[in-house]
Amino acid sequence: MSLLITGATGHLGRLVVEQLLAAGVPAGDIIATGRATEKIKDLADRGVQVRAVDFGDQAAVRAAVADADRVLLVSALDPGGRVAQHGAVIDAARAAGVSLLAYTSIVNAETATIRLAEDHQATERLLRDSGVPHVLLRNGWYHENYTDRLPAFLAQGVIPGSAGEGRISAAARADYAAAAVRVLTTDGHAGQAYELGGGQPFTLAQLAAEISAQSGKEIQYADLPEAEYASALKAHGMPDEFAIMVAETDVAAAHGALHTASGDLAALTGRPATTLSAAVAAALSALDQSQAAPGND
């Protein structure tokens, strides 16, 4: 059975391919797609079928998907524009008669009122209308959204945000990848919508306390007005529109937008999701190693 993964040149899709291989799926049954396929040459060397596909090129999408049995559509990046891009993959999946399309949506997609959720809601509607058997992987926030910013948090002693006391059910990308692997490699998921998030939600003040405890450096959470937080993100190089959406999402998180009480993630993967403590420990250790690497002294 051939499994096609979009976004395999990105973080989540690559983890899915690695986990499929680790689970014993034959490399030749995996079709890894993305634009920047030079990033996954190593997967081709291991026997994975690598196909360069830009969602904007409908003919290329159709050709790539034509022989796939199941497809993982990893949501694209371009706010607004990505609905049409997702639509191209859904059309191709319908034309190919795939038996399952799994889509990485956003947690609480049904009730969300944030702009970040609009593309996911529109894509979920396209899927419903398409007739393609599908499963919704409504992913919560990644730990990596925070741990990737550890150097800045440590340098400034501050985690900026607008999430107040909102509890965030984050998990590691690897956990969400494991859930995707599960739906791609087992039966009975068509028609399901899984709300995916870690089992130990945390506030950003708790995140600051965890980093402080593990690093030995005092880190405070600074709750900022939305516009101020968006400006801080822009000042750190985030594109304007994205910074505005992230700040807006943080404000919504104060009211539970990124929280789920669902146990779907652990149920799908068969194990508890990565804890915040483990995620911070791994990120601090990776930082230590990169600082100790030759050329960094």
Ligand X SMILES: NC(=O)c1ccc[n+]([C@@H]2O[C@H](COP(=O)([O-])OP(=O)(O)OC[C@H]3O[C@@H](n4cnc5c(N)ncnc54)[C@H](OP(=O)(O)O)[C@@H]3O)[C@@H](O)[C@H]2O)c1
How far is residue 131's CA from residue 52's CA, in Å, rounded to a whole number? 26
- Closest to ligand X by CB, 104 vs 262, is 104
CB 11 to ligand X: min, Å: 4
The nearest distance, CB 35 to ligand X, in angstroms, is 4
Nearer to ligand X, 56 or 199 (CB): 56
Tokens of 268: 């799908």
Applying CB under 6 A, the residues found at the interface with ligand X are: 6-7, 9-13, 34-36, 53-56, 74-77, 85, 104, 139, 141-142, 145
Nearer to ligand X, 1 or 77 (CB): 77
Q: What is the DSSP letter of 220?
A: E
CB 102 to ligand X: min, Å: 13
Q: Which residues of 203-232 are buried (b: 16+ CB within 10 A; e: fewer)?
A: bbbbbbbbbbeebeeebebbbbeeeebbbb
CB 194 within 8 A of CB 179: yes
CB of residue 220 vs ligand X: minimum separation in angstroms? 23
Report strand pairing: 30-34 vs 220-223.
Answer: unpaired
Residues 6+ apart with CB under 8 A from 55: 6, 61, 76, 82, 84, 85, 86, 88, 89
Nearer to ligand X, 37 or 212 (CB): 37
- Round to whole Å and give the CA distance between 101 and 286: 34
The nearer residue to ligand X, 9 or 260, going by C-beta atoms, is: 9
Residue number of the CB atom closest to ligand X: 10
Give the end-to-end CA distance of the chain in Å, rounded to a whole number: 49
Question: Shortest gap between Cβ of 217 and ligand X (angstroms)?
Answer: 25
